[in-house]
Every structure is written in C-alpha cells, then in structure tokens.
Structure 1
Amino acid sequence: MHEYGIAEAVLHAVERRAAGRPVRRARVRAGALLRISEPALNQAFVLVSDGTVADGAHLEVIVDPVRMTCGRCDRTTASDGLFAMCPACGSTDLAIEGGDGLVLESIELVEAAHAPGNSRRDRADPSGSP
C-alpha cells in the first residue's frame, strides 16, 4: 500500500502549512500515474494524522489526468489512465506529459470558537484604554 507513504508526505506538508493550528480539511492534487486509491489514502491519512494538528481532518483528492501526444497523428489525449496506443490512429509512439505530480493544494483550518480578550479594545493599545 504505497498510499501510506503518500499520506505521510501529505501530513508533513499539512503540518508545515498549518504552523501548529488545527486543520479541518486538506486538498491534494495527485497525478493519475500515481494510481492512488482515494479510500486507501484517506484511511492511511487517518492513521498517520492521529494525534497531530490534522487529527480528524478530511482529505480530498483530485486526480490530474495524464496527457499523451501521438507522434504519428499529433493528437493530444487526456486520461485518468494510461493508453498503450493512440485512440485515434492506433500508434504506440506516444509522448507522455504530467500525471505524476502530488501537490498540497489547500488546507482549511479549524476556526477558534472564542478568542480571549476584549474584542472592542484597540489592538494597537494593549492597555485597552479609549
């Protein structure tokens, strides 16, 4: 299950970006060539994030297609899988681009329910005087 290693890498990036703040949700963009199983990645993320700032966070996975350009007919095709031949002309002379990246696209932090202090006080004046 290579998803466990990927989940560890995602968690490391989430922790760096969160800077100690609790995380509610994270979104990653993964290339189709990584052959990630979203349920397996989510399960692995639950395991590796236990006790961290991402404990209980939902992980959303967006799959980026691979782009293949045929050397014979010059047709470009995008797919979530990898073709062995061009769907237009049947040639096996395909140039492959993309589909192997992994990017932490965004995180959503848990909002604080209450921030201690006087919300009416001018932040520039620590004494709170008007």
Structure 2
Amino acid sequence: MAEALLAAVERGADGRPVRRVRVRAGVLLRIDEAALVQAFAVAAAGTVADGADLEVIVDPVRLSCGRCERTTTSDGLLAACPACGATDLRIEGGDELALESIDLVETAEVPGNPRRDRGNPPEPA
C-alpha cells in the first residue's frame, strides 16, 4: 500500500520535492497509521518524497437501518441499529482510499529553467 501511495505521489509531484502527503482511508480498511507512516518513509527514501510527512485521515463507515431508516456513522461495524435495535444495516463507504493532497517544497528555481529564476519573463526594455 505504501509503494502504491508513493507511486501516486511521484506522479503528482512531477519531479518536485514533496513536503507533506495527506491520504483519506475508510475505517473498514483497518489501516494502522503508524505502520503506514513507517512503510511510506522506507519506500520514499531516495525519492522526491524522501522525508515527507504522511498524514492519514480515517473516515468512518456510514450505516443505514433498513427498518427505521436512520443513518449513523461508526468507527467500526455495528451489529444493531443504535436507534431501534434492528440488524438490517446497509453499509455505505468506509472502504475507500484516496490521495487527498500533496504539499510541495517551494524552491527558488524552476526545474529545467536555465535562467535559475522562478520562471518570470524578463522585464521589457
């Protein structure tokens, strides 16, 4: 998972150094945040994401009751509806994984720019 995340980050960074990465994960994936952060750091060594911070946001699962139609969120699967006790629950979400954002390191140079500036055109004479 860390290597797939790194591949997506590298595509998005397009060769620019990365400062921070934010990913959203559904609670049903049961991601161990500390383990993913460590695995990402190992996978990112020597890449544009070397030393980047990884922030993992865990989204709850949404559950809808088939009897009372109440919708609730949970950090895990519930066996019964908290409102009426029915066990006819529909699961919505909770299993998604999305790269939400990539924060890049600001540099004084534009890659590939021989003038070594921020890419601003020269002032007219």
TM-score range, shorter chain: 0.7 to 0.9
Q: Does 1:36 align with 2:31?
A: yes
Please give the alpha-carbon distance, in whole angstroms, between the structure 2 residues aligned to 1:9 and 1:122. Answer: 35
Quote the RMSD (CA, aligned, Å).
2.0
* Aligned mates of 1:15, 1:118 — CA distance in 2: 23
Q: Of residues 36, 41, 49 in structure 1, which corresponds to 2:44?
A: 49
Structure 2, gaps ≥5 residues long: none
Letter in structure 2 aligned against 1:80:
D
- Aligned residue number for residue 103 of structure 2: 108
Determine what percentage of the aligned residue pairs are the same residue. 67
* CA distance, structure 2, for counterparts of residue 64 and residue 12 of structure 1: 23
- 1:90 is displaced (CA, Å) by 1.5
Aligned residues: 120
- Give the deviation of 1:118 after TM superposition: 7.6
> Structure 1 residue 87 and structure 2 residue 82: aligned?
yes
1:10 CA displacement:
1.0
State the Cα distance separating 1:92 from its structure 2 match: 1.1
When normalised by structure 2's length, the TM-score is: 0.87
Answering whether residue 15 of structure 2 is matched by residue 20 of structure 1, we say yes
Q: What SS is found at the alignment partner of 1:16?
A: helix
Matched, 1:9 2:4: yes
